[in-house]
Structure 1
Amino acid sequence: MLRRVSERSIKRLSSARLVAPSVSPISYSTKATVIQLLNNIGSKREVEQYLKYFTSVSQQQFAVIKVGGAIITQQLNELASCLAFLYHVGLYPIVLHGTGPQINELLENEGVEPEYIDGIRITNPKTMEVVRKCFLEQNLRLVTALEKIGVHARPITTGVFGADYLDKDKYQLVGKITSVDKSSVEAAINAGYLPILTSLAETPSGQLLNVNADVAAGELAREFEPLKIVYLNEKGGIINGNTGEKVSVINLDEEYEDLLKESWVKYGTKLKIKEIHDLLQHLPRSSSVAIIDVDDLQKELFTDSGAGTLIRRGYKLINRNSLQEFGNPDLLRAALLRDPEIKSGKFSVASYLKHLETVNFKSYGDEPLEVLAIVLENNNVPKLDKFLSSKTGWLNNVTDNIFNAIKKDFKSLCWIVNENDSNLAWYFSKADGSFTKKGEILFWYGLNTEEVSELIKQFDSSTIGSSLSSAKESGVFNSSQQKRGFHTARRFLSTNPPLREGTNTEKRKVALIGARGYTGQNLIKLIDNHPYLEISHVSSRELQGQKLQGYNKGNIIYSNLQVEDIKKLEENGDVDVWVMALPNGVCKPFVDAIDQVKNGHSKIIDLSADYRFDTTGKWVYGLPELNDRNVISQAKKISNPGCYATAAQLAIAPLKKYINGTPSLFGVSGYSGAGTKPSPKNDVKLLNNNLIPYSLTDHVHEREISSQLGFKVAFMPHVAQWFQGISHTINIPINKGCLSSREIRNIYQEFYGNEDLITISGEAPLVKDISGKHGVVLGGFAVNSNEDRVVIVATIDNLLKGAATQCLQNINLSQGYGEYEGIPIDVVIRG
């Protein structure tokens, strides 16, 4: 799915309730940057709808987040970063934390033996002294960490929870909450501070009592009635004891009774589900509970798929096989009136209802019919004829529940969607395949090759009806989505050979913004050997004042260019090419500064992912081997592709018209791909004799590859102990029996016959042979015995063709030089 938010969206969000009334507004650039970063985890539609949803209520009603004390001890920086994201888009969660398992260690150090009755800690005066000290220390640690990164936070350690003794003789200083005083929490939020609470309570006489943090979070939720109640824990959700998999969604009204009968739902799991059920019964139906890992907080809040376990009341789903089974005809009419064809007057509700009386159908809907789906069973392949949802239906994922119910009943299905439908990416995610014709897209799942061929033949002859449409009344699903056809394989390689040689020999000046990383270092080396390019400026906050190493054409000193500096350089015409070598989500203010200069002549190359999903037409995707070189050469702004994404697209593109399914990519990169900032992915000791998987779904490169190729791929990245170089092993499902291994290799040799930076090998290439080289090697081409899939291996140096070399190709094209000026053509292949 596409992962960008438009300027219009940012402006709309800027005018929403993004800051507390009495604080200075968060800067536009900060908000824009945070929103861009959010788009690395969710689609434009998702991020827009959830931001709009969360800012639709008073700030204290956004969320209550319960944090385990162990998270503050072990994942403090991750927690602070996640809360900062929310703060910088004007969302103020109420954060409550426990003391964590470390309390037992502290008690032992004080000579206190922990005691429990019925799982409740006996809290005598000595224990309370240690518990209080631990609470205050943990609270201060979190508040301090937030303040260090620019988030105003207010410690609230007492005065919120009133309590009586739970059982003074049995548990001593353990409390049962009897009241919640909201005033200090509301005052903190109104002043622009995140409230950070402990779960200490007080009796009317002022005696401190220890209360369970989960219980305290529930009492806060009952008082504030937030949209979200979030429990952060190490497991990241509820685990199905039979399968070992994380439970994604629980709809209590539909599943609660059956869920409690499951053999694995027992002990603490059963108690947790019961407590959440009781809590949600007293809250608005819009409220939900999320149990997640701290690293997945944004993904859970801002994407449809979520990351942990989402628990909500939901509605029971109702199936109906006749019009008589709809008890409320007005409710049915209201649902059908969402259909754009009915809205436009193409046909009436009454005529459609009369049509349903003549066919076999099965309908699916929740109780209030926020979502209505109608499946026609008359055809060989059942057809989803209507899929109509309100904004509420999309927002609360009722659409997913309905589609899952349909999939249980129908092993195969087809449906047709207009190519301008704003929820196109969602339909792609539900399908095994698709075919495009004259503005409409045919989707299907559960069909074999022969059935697909027959279905497409019917679609071509227009014998299987018109488009269904999901409702657009929400006003937030209005982005154009990537289109794809069943048979497309565009390439523009040989159309403009003069671009290869180039005609310009004039000197050009390059400015690098953010030049301290590995990619920047390699680009500096390439420019140093380029006959016409010179570096005029390098900007790095960390290296300011130091001499640029590895550059021999002049004495260049690192500076720390600000937005005003960049604008002035552009006004004076001091720079011909700006290269943004910055982390994702950071370069927009610099790009905007260049754009503000009306007569500016420079070109911009962005090495981050910020503009790879641009839908405005202002940015061109700079992969010369697959995209029109003329278009790249004329573009003012060029988005440099990602390293994994470059190799994957080059490996898959020649077979696009033969693909029948979702390609899977197993990628392994050297640790230079993790950058220079210390992390587990570039920790040499951790990587020794090791392989680290990460971001196994929805990685930014997975979305990049899918959006550029026009269909879904599945990408699983890993990092290994070598320094640079990537190996991709790619499994591509193809139409059965259509191609042999030799034929596939011939297709690739013909496709890339004119490309100096792409080598086709009969053997699977080795990553150690590509390290330090400037091209891509494609090889292997192994077809299985069933002749319905091919495995291709692609290797690329992530720092060169995956970044710096490709950047230089784009600079050369943009300045009229030969495309390969300054690039050694040195790919060496075994065999």
Structure 2
Amino acid sequence: MIVARQLTRSGLLRASSSYPSKASLTAARGLVNAKQSSWREATAAAAVQQHRGYSGSATAAQSEKETITKLLYNIGSRKEVEQYLRHFSSVESQKFAVIKVGGAVLTDELDTLASAITFLNRVGLYPIVLHGAGPQLNNLLEKAGVVPDYHDGIRITDEKTLEIARKVFMAENLKLVEALEKMGTRARPLPGGVFSAEYLDKDKYGFVGKITGVNKEVIEASIRAGALPILTSLAETPAGQILNVNADVAAGELARVKIVYLNEKNGLYNGDTGKKIDVINLDEEYADLLKQPWVKYGTKLKIKEIKELLDHLPRSSSVAIISAGHLHKELFTDSGAGTLIRRGFKLFHHNSLEQLDKDRLRRILEQEDPQVQSGQVSVSSYLHDLENTKKGFKAYGDEPYEVLAVVKNDDETGSGVPKLDKFIATKAAVLNNVTDNVWALLSKDYPSLTWIVDENDANKGWHFDKAEGSFTKNGKTLFWKGLNDVGTIERVVSQFLDAQTKEAVTAATSGSGSFANGQRRSFSTGFNKSTSPFMGGRRMFSTSSSAQRDVKKIGLIGARGYTGQELIRLVNNHPSLEISYVSSRELEGKPLEGYTKSPINYVNLSADQVKEKTQSGEVDAWILALPNGVCKPFVDAIESVEEGKKMVLCDLSADFRFTDSWTYGLPEFNRANLPGATRISNPGCYATGSQLSIRPLLEHLGGTPSIFGVSGYSGAGTKPSPNNDVNHLKDNLIPYALTNHIHEREVSHQLGREVNFMPHVAPFFQGITLTVNLPLNKTMTSGEVREIYEAAYENEKLVHVLKGVPLVKENAGKHFARIGGFGVHSSGKRVVVVATIDNLLKGAATQAVQNLNLSLGLGEYTGIPLD
């Protein structure tokens, strides 16, 4: 399927009298995994309203808009939704999109296609649908005894083939029209009369045409009548001879705008690696791409046609290849999926001023650099500074200098980490993702990097996306990536703080009475999900009084994604725990939803503010739900004011799981040490399930245990990645971190012996299954093994031993682990144990509450549902 849309910076254009001229367009891509049921429901609701006769009323329009608004909040970010709603209310009503539908889509995804087209029509678009029928035609040709023949990827069309093709196109055309009409969407079949053509090469290809013109009046008449035009890829010569034309090319001729190919594979895939190609920049990659052995036949033809099409369009034009279910996401969001193809510009990377285009360099600095625009620095002085940088620099950008990045090889503070000194871009470059291209290029040269951005930067979200950590102070945010040890992070943050003036620090930390209303953002929960089992942080702030001391007050620092929400839910139903503060960089100032004990607002607590709250006695325990490697400043701040009684800290990261001075919080094996403990390291999810599976047989082990772990994709976090991309996960199982995973080291450390661990991600959302192979040092039966486990966990309310094999779907959402299987090899010297555990609950949030209960002198299972 192809979608072509005509855009300006202000929104969608209506189909104008100049259509189909080569319009100016943006190349913003919007391809994300679709929740098809959501937009089908919205489409159905809108269709019901129309059938009830309200389609022309203001009430129906408002109701439909509300339905669409709710839907969009499910498929896009708040920023994206608000952007679209501005278009919805302000842009001219007659907007169009061109959709090319492959024959396979008509056969396999007709309902999905009809729902998607209906949805577009409901939000004010007039999709012009152009379809092919390749698979259907091949089927009928085979029945008629006609062998399909191709040359250069083009079907050779003789008289018999053309006769059958006409019948197929008519039948498929009417099938799509009927599917749309059933959903209340008016559609008009236009199997001919739209395209004029001449023979491509009659002797070589037969009745195959090359399009020479488009009869736009036929299409516009249909749209004026309120019916969607449904076209076929048949054209006519001036003498009236019908010719078969390439549907992809026809759609390009029809639109001459940004084009999106929607296929069932959701993109182009590298034939050697099997991986989806995210971006193709033709200016740099086209020649090498065509030399690849897997680029042949239809794939080669399609790439060539895309290149020819883009050569005749503005350089900002692009082609995206995605699947049918992403149509609404392409139009209404900014995130990416599938394969984006664009002409692009060749990128440069230079390490001297002589290699740079001084005029273009000066222009982008003057037009886009805030420091130059504000007068803080002149272009000349900046260039002089670059020329005298001690260890040199490297500049990156594209040919027209729409993007400029400058990396200094040392930040001149002694940390040894290169500093991204500038990263500036025009709006067009941001829209066209040139920034991502430049970033990818410089990241190859600089795997570790630091940089500073003003907190009011309009593209700050982009920087958060690229960073693995951040720290904000006095209106500036320090970002970093590739810093894998806490010591380096501490040095970088300390140097950043040293650069702040004393007055700015005082202004940021003073005014204790106005903390909730005017707090500055501080330590970030940005993290690298590959090193953390949890998810990106959210922090909160309580506006309630802390006068009551008959309950324990909890502060959450970095309430991270799904785990944070489970913690909040558990505390909300806990009779002896209440939330005082919860910190979130992203939601600062907004009310916390799902917590009913008192009104809570999110805040962004700095280490200094956590220190103040600890010193004032407003909190009984802090839960540190931060990424690996970044919680030490908070721990140090708390410990610096502890006098007499220590504060209870429960850390959900891996930072202290290997530290003997912290209590390892796996109650089933360490319960005696948890009452009164003030430093608790919460175990990892995989590590909890693995230890529960192995420990009862520890003394009977005769070799190294092997653990095959499979987790739901909630464990991969909310930040888009292949490991939480539902389309990538569909019918798939993804292995990752096959050796030296943090949980492999954690389990080995806690058990005192080596284990092998192999983690995988599966298409389900929540839960973990572990298949554990245990070599034995003596012969045992299945019954004997099971008895050992039953005895070990007889009194454990959060561990259930089964006779059969536990299943993930039966344990998802439960607060206990299940262990079963106990399959013994015929030799009697090897047993396989299967365990299931919810990665967000007993693997994280539930276990944290269990540990807090024991530490604070409460009942161990208080507030934890046991059924």
Q: Is TM (by shorter chain) over 0.5?
A: yes
Residue 622 (str. 1) matches residue 632 (str. 2): no
Corresponding residue SS for 2:410: coil
Identity of paired residues, percent? 49
Q: How does 1:662-681 map to 2 (within 5 A)?
A: none
Residue 486 of structure 1: how far off its partner (Å): 7.3
Residue 27 (str. 1) matches residue 58 (str. 2): no
Residue 116 (str. 1) matches residue 149 (str. 2): yes
Residue 188 of structure 1: how far off its partner (Å): 3.3
Counterpart in the other structure of 1:69: 103
CA distances 1:25-77 after superposition (whole Å, capped 9, x unpaired): 88244334335434444434456668889999999996533211110111012
Hey, what's the Cα distance between the residues in 2 that align with 1:655 and 1:495?
23
Counterpart in the other structure of 1:812: none
Residue 252 of structure 1: how far off its partner (Å): 1.0
Hey, what's the Cα distance between the residues in 2 that align with 1:320 and 1:650?
38
Counterpart in the other structure of 1:91: 125
CA distances 1:451-471 after superposition (whole Å, capped 9, x unpaired): 22322232232289xx9xxxx
Hey, what's the Cα distance between the residues in 2 that align with 1:481 and 1:138?
58
Q: In the alignment, is the contact (CA less than 8 A) between 2:800 and 2:816 conserved in 1?
A: no
Number of residue equivalences: 584
Residue 426 (str. 1) matches residue 462 (str. 2): yes
CA distances 1:683-711 after superposition (whole Å, capped 9, x unpaired): xxxxxxxx9999x6xx89944xx79xxxx
Residue 377 (str. 1) matches residue 387 (str. 2): no
Q: In the alignment, is the contact (CA less than 8 A) between 2:100 and 2:261 conserved in 1?
A: yes
Q: How does 1:733-812 map to 2 (within 5 A)?
A: 776-777=815-816, 793-794=837-838
Q: How does 1:113-512 map to 2 (within 5 A)?
A: 113-118=146-151, 120-168=154-202, 171-220=205-254, 224-226=255-257, 228-329=258-359, 331-359=361-389, 360-379=392-411, 380-449=416-485, 450-462=487-499, 484-485=524-525
| CA spacing shift, 1:363–1:491, aligned 2, 3 Å | closer
Residue 92 of structure 1: how far off its partner (Å): 3.4
Residue 430 of structure 1: how far off its partner (Å): 1.6
Residue 622 of structure 1: how far off its partner (Å): 1.0
Hey, what's the Cα distance between the residues in 2 that align with 1:701 and 1:39?
22
Q: In the alignment, is the contact (CA less than 8 A) between 2:524 and 2:585 conserved in 1?
A: no
Corresponding residue SS for 2:113: helix
CA distances 1:196-228 after superposition (whole Å, capped 9, x unpaired): 2110111223232222222322332xxx421x2
| CA spacing shift, 1:266–1:389, aligned 2, 3 Å | same
Hey, what's the Cα distance between the residues in 1 that align with 2:330 and 2:64?
22
| CA spacing shift, 1:327–1:439, aligned 2, 3 Å | closer
Q: What is the TM-score with the length of structure 1 in the denominator? A: 0.58
Corresponding residue SS for 2:598: helix
Hey, what's the Cα distance between the residues in 2 that align with 1:779 and 1:463?
53
AA aligned to 2:815 is: V
Residue 616 of structure 1: how far off its partner (Å): 9.9
Hey, what's the Cα distance between the residues in 2 that align with 1:247 and 1:354?
41
Q: In the alignment, is the contact (CA less than 8 A) between 1:162 and 1:201 conserved in 2?
A: yes
Hey, what's the Cα distance between the residues in 2 that align with 1:17 and 1:205?
38
Residue 406 of structure 1: how far off its partner (Å): 0.7
Hey, what's the Cα distance between the residues in 2 that align with 1:702 and 1:613?
16
Hey, what's the Cα distance between the residues in 1 that align with 2:295 and 2:365?
37
Q: In the alignment, is the contact (CA less than 8 A) between 1:153 and 1:194 conserved in 2?
A: yes
| CA spacing shift, 1:121–1:769, aligned 2, 3 Å | closer
| CA spacing shift, 1:63–1:361, aligned 2, 3 Å | farther
Hey, what's the Cα distance between the residues in 1 that align with 2:314 and 2:406?
29
Corresponding residue SS for 2:349: strand
Hey, what's the Cα distance between the residues in 2 that align with 1:377 and 1:236?
40
Residue 432 of structure 1: how far off its partner (Å): 2.6
Q: In the alignment, is the contact (CA less than 8 A) between 2:588 and 2:601 conserved in 1?
A: no
CA distances 1:467-519 after superposition (whole Å, capped 9, x unpaired): 9xxxxxxxxxxxx9998347999688995879989xxxxxxxxxxxxxxxxxx
Residue 413 of structure 1: how far off its partner (Å): 0.9
Residue 404 of structure 1: how far off its partner (Å): 0.4
Counterpart in the other structure of 2:769: none
Q: In the alignment, is the contact (CA less than 8 A) between 1:60 and 1:94 conserved in 2?
A: no
Q: In the alignment, is the contact (CA less than 8 A) between 2:14 and 2:95 conserved in 1?
A: no
Q: Which has the larger radius of gyration?
A: 2
Residue 317 of structure 1: how far off its partner (Å): 1.2
AA aligned to 1:131 is: A
Q: In the alignment, is the contact (CA less than 8 A) between 2:198 and 2:237 conserved in 1?
A: yes
Hey, what's the Cα distance between the residues in 2 that align with 1:46 and 1:66?
25
Counterpart in the other structure of 1:533: none
Q: In the alignment, is the contact (CA less than 8 A) between 1:66 and 1:96 conserved in 2?
A: yes
Q: In the alignment, is the contact (CA less than 8 A) between 1:664 and 1:714 conserved in 2?
A: no
| CA spacing shift, 1:81–1:252, aligned 2, 3 Å | same
Corresponding residue SS for 1:378: coil
CA distances 1:713-752 after superposition (whole Å, capped 9, x unpaired): 96477999xxxxxxxxxx996999999759xxxxxxxxxx
Identify unmatched segments of 5+ residues in structure 2.
1-7, 18-54, 505-519, 528-536, 553-583, 603-623, 632-649, 658-682, 687-708, 730-739, 752-795, 820-834, 847-861
Counterpart in the other structure of 2:866: 827
Hey, what's the Cα distance between the residues in 2 that align with 1:383 and 1:264?
40
CA distances 1:74-97 after superposition (whole Å, capped 9, x unpaired): 101222222234333333343211
Hey, what's the Cα distance between the residues in 1 that align with 2:479 and 2:801?
35
AA aligned to 1:484 is: S
- Bigger mean CA offset, 320-329 vs 356-365: 320-329
- Bigger mean CA offset, 188-197 vs 75-84: 188-197
Q: How does 1:510-549 map to 2 (within 5 A)?
A: none
Corresponding residue SS for 2:368: coil
Hey, what's the Cα distance between the residues in 2 that align with 1:241 and 1:719?
16
Hey, what's the Cα distance between the residues in 1 that align with 2:744 and 2:541?
25
Hey, what's the Cα distance between the residues in 1 that align with 2:728 and 2:383?
57
Q: In the alignment, is the contact (CA less than 8 A) between 1:777 and 1:796 conserved in 2?
A: no
Q: In the alignment, is the contact (CA less than 8 A) between 2:198 and 2:212 conserved in 1?
A: yes
Hey, what's the Cα distance between the residues in 1 that align with 2:186 and 2:430?
34
| CA spacing shift, 1:345–1:396, aligned 2, 3 Å | same
Which residue of the other structure, out of 624, 631, 638, is the alignment partner of 2:599? 631
| CA spacing shift, 1:457–1:307, aligned 2, 3 Å | same
Q: In the alignment, is the contact (CA less than 8 A) between 1:63 and 1:93 conserved in 2?
A: yes
Counterpart in the other structure of 1:596: none
Hey, what's the Cα distance between the residues in 2 that align with 1:318 and 1:172?
46
Corresponding residue SS for 2:450: strand
| CA spacing shift, 1:126–1:427, aligned 2, 3 Å | same
AA aligned to 2:599 is: V
Q: In the alignment, is the contact (CA less than 8 A) between 2:192 and 2:235 conserved in 1?
A: yes
Q: Which of structures 1 and 2 has the larger relative contact order (alpha carbons within 8 angstroms, sep 6+)?
A: 1
Computed over aligned residues only, the root mean square deviation of the Cα atoms, in angstroms, reads: 5.6
AA aligned to 1:794 is: D
Residue 361 of structure 1: how far off its partner (Å): 1.9
Q: How does 1:575-590 map to 2 (within 5 A)?
A: none
| CA spacing shift, 1:289–1:16, aligned 2, 3 Å | closer
Q: In the alignment, is the contact (CA less than 8 A) between 1:136 and 1:157 conserved in 2?
A: yes
Hey, what's the Cα distance between the residues in 2 that align with 1:148 and 1:108?
32
Hey, what's the Cα distance between the residues in 1 that align with 2:105 and 2:749?
53
- Bigger mean CA offset, 315-324 vs 400-409: 315-324
Corresponding residue SS for 2:313: coil
